[in-house]
């Protein structure tokens, strides 16, 4: 049988296939590196499944762990994890592209298209400049975060260890990974520190807003200052995407904060015994970390059922497009709501900030939510059946994995082989997107789209 290598390269080179493969390759390389003897501390050993789980949670910036990051892995192992987090947060294709750019390699039209798909940007004009701005902005924010963390952690842990913990924490927070090397309690040891909690929340939110929003705000402020515009005029000049992301982010954080505070106010297992100030601080932190960050300042297994339900929603939605966060994204969730609102009110178009939403975009929204919801349902059922876990914990684990959040109700380290494979698969689906994974197995649709069918008569509702 003759093998058509050209056709194979064409198929695997397609963005919907190459991007999932790039993450898979990074996971495999990370697994191999973490299995090296010097990747673990003396007296510890790492199985293939543990290395695979850790590499996946790092590349997929999830944060679920089966072994303590601070205790199991050596400095080399932690460095590998940190690099995988950075690569996963920015995107494997994005990181590879910047190295090609540094090497002065010219980008072909196909490579620009691939990079545009990886960044979820439709316009290829100025794409390389946008790429450079992403890296400059990322390292600047992570550098400032490291310095701010170091002011508190260096006196506590010493210069070298404190600086290393600060760098790891800053990268992990900005990339919404939720992993840390300070100890076994995540942010619980610092839950009364407004400074450290605030720095962590700011990094999480900045990473979750998306780079397009960053640059639109910065460019708008620069133009506004140079033209002496009023603040309200500057805001009006921001794109409808930026205004929508900021609006939805503010609504979700605020609603989550007050919802959690009400549900947990008298719960001694979480914030019940704290002062009012600390109750509010930890409630807003929980609301922010639900949005794909994975750090915890209170034991997740002690949360009330009400908080868990709010967590399902916030973790499923996640952050915003073209950023480091996971989930179906804020804009996707809002467009679905507005589409229903428009239909109920008899409007022919879905309009946001006086701009209509295309039918094609609404089809994409429906596909993302339908496929993601189906994966959550199936994976939850399989995890419950395979591990004998109750619904609340199983759903929490799967939504957290698929949303690349990293929060767990304490069941991750107790999972058996089948359970770990289920969570690994969920994390991978969550990072590349269930729709992207579905497209991976779909054949060429060019011929299918050339065929038109007569309209059928169907009834809904």
Q: Looking at beta carbons, which pairs linking 333-339 to residues 24 or more positions away fall under 8 Å?
A: 333/248, 333/369, 334/244, 334/248, 335/361, 335/362, 335/365, 336/365, 336/366, 336/369, 339/365
Q: Tell me how far apart the alpha carbons of residues 221 and 218 are, in angstroms, rounded to a whole number.
A: 5
pTM above 0.75, yes or no: yes
Q: What is the DSSP letter of 290?
A: T
Query: In Å, how far are 191, 248, 279 from 275, measured between CA atoms?
Result: 12, 29, 6
What's the rounded Cα separation, in Å, for the pair 420 and 301?
A: 19
CA angle centred on 95, ends 64 and 118, rounded to 5°: 80
Q: If you average pLDDT over residues 329-353, what whole number do you get? A: 90
Does residue 127 belong to any structural domain of this protein?
yes
Closest-CA residue to 299 (of 332, 329, 272): 272
Burial (CB count within 10 angstroms: exposed 0-12, middle 13-18, buried 19+), residue 301: middle
Which residues are CB-contacts of 5 (< 8 A; sequence separation ≥ 6)?
A: none
- Other Cβ atoms less than 10 A from the Cβ of 344: the count is 8
> What token pair was written down for 314?
């916030």
Write out the DSSP string of 135-194.
HHHHHHHHHHHHHHHHHHHHHHH-HHHHHHHHHHHHHHHHTT----SS-TTTTGGGTT-H
Give a yes or no: residue 269 inside a domain. yes
Residue 122 has pLDDT above 90, yes or no: no
Of the candidate ranges 47-51, 89-93, 310-314, 316-320, the one whose mean pLDDT is the lowest:
89-93
Residues 65-120 have pLDDT tens digits of 999 999 999 999 999 999 999 988 887 666 666 665 666 556 565 656 656 655 55
What is the distance between the alpha carbons of residues 260 and 287, in angstroms, rounded to a whole number? 7
Q: Is residue 89 part of a domain?
A: yes
- Give the SS3 label for residue 36: coil
pLDDT at 24 over 70: yes
Beta-bridge partners for 351: 356
For the chain, the domain total comes to: 1
Q: How confident is the model at residue 183 (pLDDT cuts 50, 70, 90)?
A: confident
* Best CA proximity match to 424, nearest among 89, 23, 118: 23
Nearest in space to 188 (alpha carbons), one of 22, 302, 82:
302
pLDDT band at 181 (very low <50, low <70, confident <90, very high): very high
What whole-number distance in Å separates Cα of residue 390 and Cα of residue 21? 34
Strand-pair category, 355-356 with 351-352:
antiparallel
20, pLDDT greater than 50: yes
Higher pLDDT, 232 or 19: 232
Q: What is the pLDDT of residue 152?
A: 95
Which pLDDT band, with edges at 50, 70 and 90, does 364 fall under? confident
Q: Does some domain include residue 1? A: no
In sequence order, the 6+-apart residues with CB closer than 8 A to the CB of 306 are 259, 263
> Hey, what are 284's tokens?
């807003």
pLDDT value of position 250: 95
The pLDDT value given to residue 309: 95
Q: What angle do CA 385, 412, 428 make, to 5 degrees?
A: 85
Q: At CA 366, angle to CA 20 and CA 250, rounded to 5?
A: 90
Question: Minimal CA–CA distance to 142: which of 170, 123, 121?
Answer: 170
What does the alpha-carbon distance between residue 260 and residue 351 come to, in Å, rounded to a whole number? 32
Q: What is the pLDDT of residue 10?
A: 45
Residue at 311 is within a domain: yes
Give pLDDT, residue 128: 73
Phi, psi (degrees; rounded to nearest 5) at 351: -120, 130
Cα torsion angle, 385, 390, 392, 398, sign: negative
Nearest to 324 by CA among 251, 245, 431, 218: 431
Q: Given this model, what pLDDT does residue 354 score?
A: 84
Residue 460 lies in a domain: no
Got the DSSP string for 238-285? Answer: S-HHHHHHHHHHHHHHHHHHHHHHHHHTT-TTTTTTS-HHHHHHHHHH
Q: Which domain holds residue 314?
A: 6-440
Say if residue 13's pLDDT is above 70. Answer: no
Q: Report how far apart the first and last C-alpha atoms of the chain are (Å, whole number).
A: 52
Identify the CA nearest to 298 among candidates 265, 326, 323: 265
Residue 456 included in any domain: no
Give the Cα separation of 332 and 367 in Å (integer): 10
Q: Lowest mean pLDDT: which of 269-283, 307-321, 356-370, 389-403?
A: 356-370
Q: Mean pLDDT across the stretch 349-374?
A: 88
206 within 8 A of 143, measured Cβ to Cβ: no
pLDDT at 164: 97
pLDDT at 127 over 80: no
Residues 6+ apart with CB under 8 A from 271: 261, 264, 265, 278, 279, 282, 283, 298
Domain assignment present for residue 450? The answer is no
| Arithmetic mean of pLDDT over the chain | 86
The pLDDT assigned to 449 comes to: 56
């Amino acid at each position: 049988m003759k093998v058509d290598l050209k056709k194979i390269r064409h198929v695997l080179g397609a963005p919907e296939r190459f991007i999932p493969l790039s993450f898979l390759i990074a996971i495999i390389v990370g697994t191999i590196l973490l299995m090296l003897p010097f990747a673990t501390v003396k007296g510890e050993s790492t199985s293939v499944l543990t290395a695979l789980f850790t590499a996946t949670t790092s590349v997929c910036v999830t944060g679920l762990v089966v072994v303590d990051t601070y205790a199991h892995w050596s400095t080399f192992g932690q460095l590998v994890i940190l690099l995988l987090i950075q690569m996963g947060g920015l995107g494997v294709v994005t990181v590879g592209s910047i190295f090609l750019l540094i090497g002065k390699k010219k980008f072909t039209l196909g490579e620009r298209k691939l990079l545009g798909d990886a960044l979820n940007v439709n316009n290829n004009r100025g794409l390389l400049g946008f790429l450079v701005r992403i890296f400059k902005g990322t390292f600047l924010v992570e550098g400032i975060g490291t310095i701010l963390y170091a002011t508190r952690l260096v006196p506590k842990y010493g210069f070298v260890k404190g600086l290393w913990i600060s760098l790891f924490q800053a990268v992990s927070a900005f990339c919404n990974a939720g992993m840390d090397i300070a100890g076994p309690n995540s942010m619980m040891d610092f839950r009364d520190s407004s400074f450290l909690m605030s720095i962590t929340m700011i990094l999480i939110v900045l990473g979750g807003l998306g780079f397009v929003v960053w640059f639109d705000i910065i460019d708008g402020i620069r133009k506004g200052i140079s033209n002496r515009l009023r603040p309200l005029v500057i805001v009006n000049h921001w794109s409808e995407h930026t205004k929508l992301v900021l609006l939805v982010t503010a609504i979700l954080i605020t609603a989550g904060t007050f919802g959690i505070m009400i549900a947990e106010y008298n719960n001694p297992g979480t914030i019940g015994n704290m002062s009012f100030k600390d109750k509010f601080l930890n409630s807003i932190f929980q609301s922010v970390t639900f949005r794909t960050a994975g750090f915890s300042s209170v034991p997740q297994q002690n949360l009330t059922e009400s908080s868990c339900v709010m967590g399902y929603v916030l973790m499923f939605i996640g952050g915003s497009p073209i950023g480091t966060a996971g989930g179906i994204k804020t804009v996707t969730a809002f467009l679905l709501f507005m589409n229903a609102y428009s239909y109920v009110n008899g409007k022919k178009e879905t309009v946001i900030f006086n701009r209509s939403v295309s039918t094609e975009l609404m089809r994409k929204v429906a596909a993302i939510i339908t496929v993601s919801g189906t994966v959550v349902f199936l994976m939850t059922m399989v995890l419950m059946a395979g591990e004998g876990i109750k619904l609340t914990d199983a759903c929490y684990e799967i939504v957290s994995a698929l949303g690349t959040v990293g929060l767990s109700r304490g069941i991750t380290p107790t999972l058996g082989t089948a359970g770990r494979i289920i969570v690994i698969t969920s994390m991978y689906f969550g990072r590349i997107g269930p729709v992207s994974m579905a497209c991976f197995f779909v054949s060429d649709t060019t011929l299918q789209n050339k065929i038109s069918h007569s309209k059928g008569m169907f009834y809904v509702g």
